[in-house]
Amino acid sequence: MSIIAHAGTNDSLRILIPTSVAPFYGTPPATLRDSRGVSYPAPSFELSAAFQMAGNITSITSDTHSVSVSLGSLTAEVASDFNPTRAHVSLRADKLLTNDIVLELKSVGLDRPRCLVQRRVVGNETTSALSLTLVPRFAATPISSQEYIFLVDRSGSMSGGRIRAVRDALQIMVRSLPSKGTTFNIFSFGDRCDSLWPTSVPYDKESVTNAASHIDHLDANYGGTEIARALQTVFDSRKSADSATQKPAAVFVLTDGEAWDLDRVFANVANTVKDVRGTRVFVLGVGNQVSTEVRIFESISLSRS
């Protein structure tokens, strides 16, 4: 499964192609419980990908691997009828890849509404598939005060480089919060969930110093990955507050997402964002085997807030 997202600019897309799937925590679906892993030598790897956009493709690059790019054609060969909206990417490696493949595609008009039609003819019947993309323009009202909650995965799968990356990211995030009208808290979870403070505290020099010291000592020593239970703990802390004085909240989940029980997580997030005023949930995937499913958090929260 590939993941396609905006690369941070209006004319760019980021395509991530995972090269491995990490083991998940919890009970797998019944259809997978009897499956067995297969191990065999894989001396080489080949990738062939064709792209066609509504506007001209100006470049395709990769910061992770050496790729061959052919602009103007859907194949590796130079096309006699050059089409600037088409491109082809190929990659060949003589050994197993150790990290995901990331491509950045730049194309004209990605920030404009567009519709693509693909027709298929089978015998005397013609069918059409339409893909409609509407690019929103948000005129968001500034928020004068907000609560920030950081929910940190400290399960065993976060050991090593992952928990170090979380510590580094959290130090930057905590120091980058707005200085006025801000309260914040840090929750840790694995097979249990606890928080730095019983409730969120005002953002000031003392609280930031205490948070920084706490972050420095975060370790992956909380056992399993009970994401649903941890999120419920965070949401319950919000529900217990006085609704008349309750601030909007942004919940940031830092996790590798390696868990099976994600359907309950998604339902819980959707219901909470709908029922509790001003709650938004975002996820920051950690590691090169991050579960692709956790990326749905942000789309749920934004669509319901």
Last residue of a domain, one of 133, 165, 190: 133
Instruction: Say if residue 90 is in the same domain as residue 64.
Output: yes
283 and 256 in a common domain: yes
* Position 1 confidence tier, pLDDT thresholds 50, 70, 90: low
DSSP 3-state assignment of 34? coil
pTM for the whole structure: 0.62
Instruction: Tell me, yes or no, whether 154 and 278 share the same domain.
Output: yes
Mean pLDDT along residues 207-225: 93
183 with 295, same domain: the answer is yes
Residue 166 is part of a domain; what is its CATH number? 3.40.50.410
- DSSP track, 83-107: -TTEEEEEEEESS---S-EEEEEEE
pLDDT in tens, 106-128: 999 888 887 878 888 888 899 99
In a domain, 103, yes or no: yes
Alpha-carbon distance 298 to 284, whole Å?
A: 10
Domain limits for position 121: 3-29+44-133
Residue 87 lies in a domain: yes
Q: What residues contact 58, with CB distance under 8 A and at least 6 apart? A: 11, 106, 107, 108
Q: Is residue 34 part of a domain?
A: no
158 and 84 share one domain: no
Mean pLDDT calculated for residue range 87-95: 90
pLDDT (tens digit, 9 = 90+) per residue, 179-206? 899 999 999 999 899 999 999 999 999 9
Task: Using the 3D structure, point to which of 100, 133, 166 is the last residue of a domain.
Answer: 133
Of the two residues 3 and 230, the one the predictor is more confident about is: 230
Last residue of a domain, one of 133, 167, 183: 133
* Nearest-angstrom CA–CA distance, 143 and 181: 9
Does 159 have pLDDT greater than 70? yes
Q: Domain total for the chain?
A: 2
Same domain, 183 and 101: no
Confidence of residue 267 (pLDDT cuts 50, 70, 90): confident
For residues 17-24, give the mean pLDDT.
70
Token pair 């509404």 is found at: 113
* Run of H or E residues at 265: helix 262-275
Let me know whether 173 and 293 are in one domain. yes
Per the listing, tokens 């110093």 go with 209
Do 120 and 249 share a domain, yes or no?
no
Q: In this predicted model, which residue has the larger pLDDT, 94 or 217?
A: 217
Q: Name the nearest CA neighbour of 281 among 293, 268, 264.
A: 268
Segments in 146-243 forming alpha helices (H): 161-175, 205-216, 227-239
- Which of 19-33, 162-176, 207-221 is least confident? 19-33
Whether residues 263 and 199 share a domain: the answer is yes
Is 246 among the domain residues? yes
Q: Residue written as tokens 């005397």?
A: 124
User: Using CA atoms in the order 131, 80, 122, 128, what is the torsion angle rounded to 10 degrees?
Assistant: 20
Tell whether 115 is covered by a domain.
yes
295 with 198, same domain?
yes
The Cα 225–Cα 231 span in angstroms is 11
**Residues 197, 48 share a domain:** no
Residue 107 belongs to some domain of the structure: yes
In a domain? residue 39:
no
120 shares its domain with 164: no
